[in-house]
Every structure is written in structure tokens, then in C-alpha cells.
């Protein structure tokens, strides 16, 4: 089952666009722990989900990248 909002980085992490850097970090840590291969026993769907989670966090954890993403997102994509 594909994630409904896998292209919206905030939705991937389950946070709002107004979330603080700390909220983003906490959401990432929680999800990364939940979908880690050691926890999921090699579940391929969980592995794909973790890739999306990591990619979303990689952008949103950097204020400058986040600002660029927000600008692109506001422009419709």
C-alpha cells in the first residue's frame, strides 16, 4: 500500500509545516526507530518507508534546505 503523501516531506514525518526543528528531529527519531530493519525483520515495505523518512529528514533538518523546499512547495511543486 503506497503512502498517500510520500511526496510531501512533512507528511512523511507526520509533522506540520510549522513544526520546529526539534519537533522534526523527534518525529524522525521515532519513525526511524519504528521502521529500522532490526525492528521489522527485513520487511521490504518498512525498508522503503525508512528510505522516505531518511530522505525527508535529510532535507528538513537543514534550515536552508528546508527554506528551499518550502519555497518550492508553495510554488506548487
Quick one: average pLDDT of 34-52? 93
Which pLDDT does position 42 carry in this prediction?
84
Which is more confident, 41 or 57? 57
Global pTM?
A: 0.85
Give yes or no for residue 60 having a pLDDT over 90. yes
Give yes or no for residue 2 having a pLDDT over 50. no
Joined together, the cell numbers standing for residue 45 give 515495505
Enumerate the H helices of the chain as residue ranges.
Answer: 9-13, 21-35, 37-40, 44-60, 63-74
3-state secondary structure of 72: helix
Give yes or no for residue 62 having a pLDDT over 60. yes
Amino acid at each position: 500500500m503506497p503512502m498517500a503523501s510520500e511526496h510531501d516531506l512533512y507528511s512523511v514525518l507526520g509533522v506540520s509545516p510549522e513544526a520546529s526543528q526539534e519537533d522534526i528531529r523527534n518525529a524522525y527519531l521515532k519513525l526511524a526507530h519504528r521502521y529500522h530493519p532490526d525492528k521489522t525483520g527485513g520487511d521490504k515495505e518498512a525498508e522503503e518507508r525508512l528510505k522516505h523518512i531518511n530522505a525527508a529528514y535529510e532535507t528538513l533538518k537543514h534550515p536552508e534546505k528546508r527554506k528551499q523546499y518550502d519555497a518550492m512547495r508553495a510554488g506548487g511543486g
